[in-house]
């Protein structure tokens, strides 16, 4: 390495830590969005030919500036968006430790402490769902990988020879049943498994929000040429926070001997609070569950959890033996034989650091405060004459001016986002465009909610929305 490229680890990491602290402390002094031209980014990057070495402190400073300036600041307290909250400081530090040591989690023997930490966390989160039984599961890169794991586990359960021969021919085509309101990662997952997107049978909810037992049963009954391998319930839809009829969907799945999975990727974090677990009644009947700690539990992306009742489907789906691995021990449950990933990052480290620092009580207080802010937002919007269009206990509110058409709704959304003072999105709900605001940021407070309501009122007046016909 050239002399001028020798890295002073202490100086570089100290500079990065100082910039990180400045970034965190300066969040409230920034806007959530700002206007910029794409050419600005291109011009900044053009200065980097990636051949001539640069001082690492300067490079880190540039990256911090670019990521903070040329992006929607999803870490901002007035970002009411898509489950990308700021990361807790202990979780950030935990991720730094992981990056520094860089343990390899393929096998227990290479990183026994890291594997033990992850198993402790898996057992803890399983305990929020199932009171008894051997806790099974794996950390994943996020909800899509966790849900893909559910499909592969379902195929392993359904077809005894699937792990060697694939889906048997001459039988009904395997199908995945999920709500039309579910996260459509299922399309990619079905394609990746070789089933094709037609294998995903999206069932319309009777009320446009929540999938029921009756709707699911009717859909399966109509598909006489399909084999319901996997039945999915969503606990907290992305668009509007609906929680499906979990117990009813499990009952239908059992009738067809299907693997029943609950996608609770964002809302499942609330189960850390015992007072909130009743919202998920019936989840304890499922075979497996997805929860993403990087969504509501405020750890850096990516961090997903696949939780299950037992290990057997995972071992059948992912088990492999090869001479170059130090171990393929099922007794030790080496991570690589229970996961789609082989070489793997220590994903659980950042969650462990956050949990060990805040404690369960700290997380419960945080989530309880966010629920309360959601109720405050819902009431304030109702008092201001907005129509609330979704019905969920979760801190996600969908709303619109009475009888306003798409043009008005989009104008209000655009005005709020352009102001830089808040960020929210829109979603089509019950054949109508609605505004959508979600509270998952731990720094969001009552003043931020009040500021959003004020911005919405101002944007509504500017859009001329006074009950205009749709």
The answer on pLDDT for 50 being more than 70 is: yes
CB burial readout 166-197, b (16+ within 10 A) else e: ebeeeeeebbbbbbebbbebbbebbeebebee
Candidates 322, 310, 317; CA nearest to 339 is 317
- Return the pLDDT at 31: 94
Q: Look-up: residue for tokens 């499942």? A: 268
- Return the pLDDT at 467: 46
**SS3 letters for 443-457?**
CCCHHHHHHHHHHHH
- Return the pLDDT at 447: 97
- Return the pLDDT at 464: 82
The answer on pLDDT for 133 being more than 60 is: no
The answer on pLDDT for 79 being more than 80 is: yes
**SS3 letters for 124-173?**
HHHHCCCCCCCCEEEEECCHHHHHHHHHHHHHHHHCCCHHHHCCCCCCCE
Global pTM value: 0.94
pLDDT average, residue stretch 14-25:
95
- Return the pLDDT at 469: 45
Q: Sheet containing 387-388: which strands, arranged edge to edge?
A: 387-388, 396-400, 432-438, 425-429
- pLDDT for 288-337, tens place per residue? 999 999 999 999 999 999 999 999 999 999 988 777 776 666 677 888 88
Mean pLDDT score of the chain:
93
The answer on pLDDT for 134 being more than 90 is: no
The answer on pLDDT for 388 being more than 80 is: yes
- Return the pLDDT at 332: 77
pLDDT average, residue stretch 101-118:
93
464 or 271, greater pLDDT: 271
The answer on pLDDT for 1 being more than 70 is: no
- Return the pLDDT at 215: 97
- pLDDT for 235-272, tens place per residue? 999 999 999 999 999 999 999 999 999 999 999 999 99
At residue 430 the predicted structure's pLDDT band, cuts being 50, 70 and 90, is confident
Rounded Cα distance between 458 and 243, Å, is 32
At residue 132 the predicted structure's pLDDT band, cuts being 50, 70 and 90, is low
The answer on pLDDT for 466 being more than 50 is: no
211 or 323, greater pLDDT: 211
Q: For 74-88, 124-138, 321-335, 451-465, which range has the lowest pLDDT when averaged over its residues? A: 321-335
Q: What is the DSSP letter of 121?
A: H
In this structure, the strands spanning 259-263 and 288-291 are: parallel
- Return the pLDDT at 330: 67
Question: Which residues, 6+ apart, have CB-to-CB distance to 470 below 8 Å?
Answer: 403, 404, 405, 432
- pLDDT for 335-369, tens place per residue? 888 999 989 999 999 999 999 999 999 999 999 99
Q: Look-up: residue for tokens 């709020």? A: 416
- Return the pLDDT at 3: 44
The answer on pLDDT for 208 being more than 90 is: no
């Amino acid at each position: 390495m050239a002399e001028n490229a020798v890295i002073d680890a202490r100086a570089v990491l100290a500079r990065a830590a100082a910039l990180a602290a400045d970034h965190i402390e300066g969040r409230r002094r920034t806007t959530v969005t700002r206007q910029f031209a794409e050419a600005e980014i291109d011009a900044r990057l053009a200065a980097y030919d990636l051949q001539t070495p640069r001082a690492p402190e300067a490079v880190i400073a540039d990256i911090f500036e670019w990521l903070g300036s040329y992006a929607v600041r999803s870490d901002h307290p007035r970002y009411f968006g898509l489950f990308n909250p700021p990361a807790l400081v202990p979780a950030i530090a935990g991720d730094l430790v992981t990056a520094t040591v860089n343990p390899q989690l393929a096998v227990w023997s290479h990183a026994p402490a890291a594997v033990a930490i992850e198993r402790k966390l898996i057992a803890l989160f399983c305990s929020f769902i199932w009171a008894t039984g051997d806790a099974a599961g794996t950390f994943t890169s996020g909800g899509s990988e966790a849900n893909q794991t559910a499909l592969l586990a379902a195929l392993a359960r359904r077809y005894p020879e699937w792990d060697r021969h694939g889906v048997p021919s001459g039988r009904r085509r395997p199908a995945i049943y999920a709500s039309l309101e579910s996260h459509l990662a299922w399309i990619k997952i079905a394609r990746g498994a070789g089933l094709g997107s037609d294998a995903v049978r999206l069932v319309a909810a009777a009320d446009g929000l929540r999938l029921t037992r009756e709707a699911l049963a009717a859909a399966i009954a109509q598909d006489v040429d399909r084999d319901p391998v996997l039945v999915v319930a969503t606990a907290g839809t992305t668009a509007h926070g609906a929680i499906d009829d979990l117990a009813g969907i499990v009952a239908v799945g059992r009738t067809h001997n299907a693997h029943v999975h609950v996608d609770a990727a964002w809302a499942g974090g609330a189960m850390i609070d015992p007072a909130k677990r009743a919202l998920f009644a019936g989840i304890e009947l499922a075979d497996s569950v997805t929860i993403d700690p990087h969504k509501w539990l405020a750890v850096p992306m990516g961090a997903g959890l696949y939780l299950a009742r037992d290990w057997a489907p995972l071992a059948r789906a992912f088990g492999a033996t090869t001479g170059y691995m130090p171990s393929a021990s099922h007794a030790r449950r080496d991570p690589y034989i229970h996961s789609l990933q082989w070489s793997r990052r220590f994903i659980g480290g950042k969650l462990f650091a956050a949990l060990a620092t805040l404690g369960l009580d700290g997380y419960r207080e945080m989530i309880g405060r966010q629920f309360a802010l959601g109720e405050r937002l819902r009431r304030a919007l109702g008092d201001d004459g907005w129509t609330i269009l979704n019905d969920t206990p979760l801190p996600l509110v969908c709303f619109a001016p009475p009888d306003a058409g798409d043009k008005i709704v989009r104008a209000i959304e655009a005005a709020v986002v352009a102001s830089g003072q808040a960020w929210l999105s829109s979603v089509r709900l019950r054949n109508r465009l609605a505004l959508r605001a979600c509270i998952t940021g731990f720094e969001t407070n009552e003043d931020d909610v009040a500021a959003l309501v004020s911005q919405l009122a101002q944007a509504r007046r500017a859009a001329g929305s006074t009950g205009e016909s749709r």
